[in-house]
Amino acid sequence: MLWLAVRVIMNRVTHCPHCGQTVTVPAGLSGRKRVQCPLCRNQFGLEISESAVRVLAIDTASLGVATAGPTAARKRQPWQYRFDFGAIFSKTFSHYGSAFLAALVYFLLVFLLLIGVSIGVLVATFVLRLLGWIGAIILFVLLIALLAAAIPLMFGIVSACMSIARGKGWDVACFFQPFRNFGGFIMWYLGLIGLCIAFGVLAVAIIFGVIWLRQNFAAVALIIGGILLLGEGIALVGVLLRCFAISPMFLIDGYGINDAVKWNLKVTSHYKWLYWLVLLLLLFLVGLFNSIVGLALRFTLLAALGPLVGALVGLVASFVLNALVMPLTALPLAVAYVEMMKQIRRKTPRPA
């Protein structure tokens, strides 16, 4: 069999030449060994000595496998990428200043838009009241339209962070980038609402079933109900993670809703969902801490400065606090997505 030496890696830790997965060489091995990557299942060779571990790529032509070159690896799958938390948070902190400025401008823009929309709704309400029930219908449609328009804007800061993570910087246009895929974001939001309603109805049915069974089998009903609710919660988290968590970033990149969900499923398969779950839990804890600190700060200012001044100062303080924390929640997610896409870009078709 023909072996081609491709690199030398010390300390008995190496990487699969096909997918880059870290592979630890068991103690006691020596000489040339043929091993299988635990991640991509591709085979490759190791030449092990006391001082070095040499990675050897198998010449697949000698095995009778048709390839484009003498040492070509199998086609990489979308889930064959490395998830490096150290690199993600290192790049997050290196880009924090730019993301903080983007968050300041974003919150200021949203605040001004909210003021303008509030004034417009008040004026429209006063005018449409003169039209009776027809005016009420028009006002309801107007409010639905405003809500729909707000959905893509919610991901404006994520769009800016994605641009920052790609080294392109940001501008105000980044906040409106999601509107280019307006239909995709509306479908994403409707799917999310439908999923929550379905699981909510199922939870209510379980609770009523427990209440009905409790009349004769109290202990059994509580145990079964608890297990079912726990299982439903795990299933809900799984569906959200596999279908909804990363798809908004694919939508920002221009993918259709179907392709976005498909690629969300692909890049979170083969236990990669676990890495994204850990990252999202960390970001959730950061957001929760921000909410607790914001509420404590607001109540403190209200008690110290009075209702009017305390409310105004609290609004400014919350504005600055959210701008400080937002890069720590949106930017790591954007960096993780960008780094993942760099590794699978050749295998990920761009939208037409």
Find the Cα–Cα–Cα–Cα dihedral 147, 152, 153, 158, rounded to 10°.
Answer: 150
| 58 and 179 together in one domain | no
Please report whether residue 144 resides in a domain.
Answer: yes
Chain mean pLDDT for the chain: 81
Better-predicted residue by pLDDT, 283 or 30: 283
Residue 301 lies in a domain: yes
In a domain, 141, yes or no: yes
3-9, strands of its sheet edge to edge? 3-9, 53-58, 43-48, 31-36
Residue 199 lies in a domain: yes
* pLDDT greater than 80 at residue 347: no
Q: Are residues 165 and 311 in the same domain?
A: yes
- Same domain assignment for residues 298 and 159: yes
Contacts of 261 (CB under 8 A, 6+ apart): 243, 244, 247
**What is the predicted pLDDT for the residue at 238?**
92
Check: CB of residue 334 under 8 Å from CB of residue 161: yes
Q: Is the pLDDT of residue 71 over 50?
A: no
Boundary-marking domain end, from 47, 62, 77: 62
Are 108 and 32 in a shared domain?
Answer: no
pTM of the shown model: 0.71
Q: In this prediction, what percent of the chain has a pLDDT beyond 70? A: 84
pLDDT single digits (tens) 16-51 = 777 766 777 776 667 787 777 776 677 878 787 776
Note whether 118 and 183 are same-domain residues: yes
Whether residue 346 is contained in a domain is answered as: no
92 and 216 inside one domain: yes
Same domain, 30 and 129: no
Residue 44 burial (CB < 10 Å; 0-12/13-18/19+)? buried
Statement to judge: residues 57 and 131 lie in one domain: no
pLDDT tens for each residue of 91-150: 999 999 999 999 999 999 888 888 877 787 777 777 777 777 776 777 777 777 778 888
pLDDT-derived band at 76, boundaries 50, 70, 90: low
Residue 180 and residue 52 in one domain? no
Residue 230 domain-assigned (yes or no) = yes
Instruction: Give the residue, 224 or 190, on which the prediction is more confident.
Output: 190
Q: Are residues 93 and 34 in the same domain?
A: no
At residue 68 the predicted structure's pLDDT band, cuts being 50, 70 and 90, is: very low
**Domain-located, residue 345:** no
**What's the average model confidence in pLDDT over 316-338?**
91
pLDDT of residue 69: 35
Host domain of residue 7: 3-62
- 74 pLDDT band (50/70/90 cuts)? low
Same domain membership, residue 110 and residue 12? no
| Residue 122 and residue 185 share a domain | yes
Quickly state the pLDDT bin for 311 (edges 50, 70, 90). Answer: confident
- Band of residue 246 on the pLDDT scale cut at 50, 70, 90: very high
231-243 average pLDDT score: 92
Three-state SS annotation for the chain? CCEEEEEEECCCEEECCCCCCEEECCCCCCEEEEEECCCCCCEEEEEECCCCEEEEEECHHHHCCCCCCCCCCCCCCCCCCCCCHHHHHHHHHHCHHHHHHHHHHHHHHHHHHHHHHHHHHHHHHHHHHHHCHHHHHHHHHHHHHHHHHHHHHCCHHHHHHHHHHCCCCCCHHHHHHHHHHHHHHHHHHHHHHHHHHHHHHHHHHHHHHHHHHCCCCHHHHHHHHHHHHHHHHHHHHHHHHHHHCCHHHHHHCCCCHHHHHHHHHHHCCCCHHHHHHHHHHHHHHHHHHHHHHHHHHHHHHHHHHCHHHHHHHHHHHHHHHHHHHHHHHHHHHHHHHHHHHHHHHHHCCCCC
Tell whether 78 is covered by a domain: no
Which residues have CB under 8 Å from 21's CB, separation 6+?
15, 37, 38, 39, 40, 80, 82
Domains of the chain: total? 2
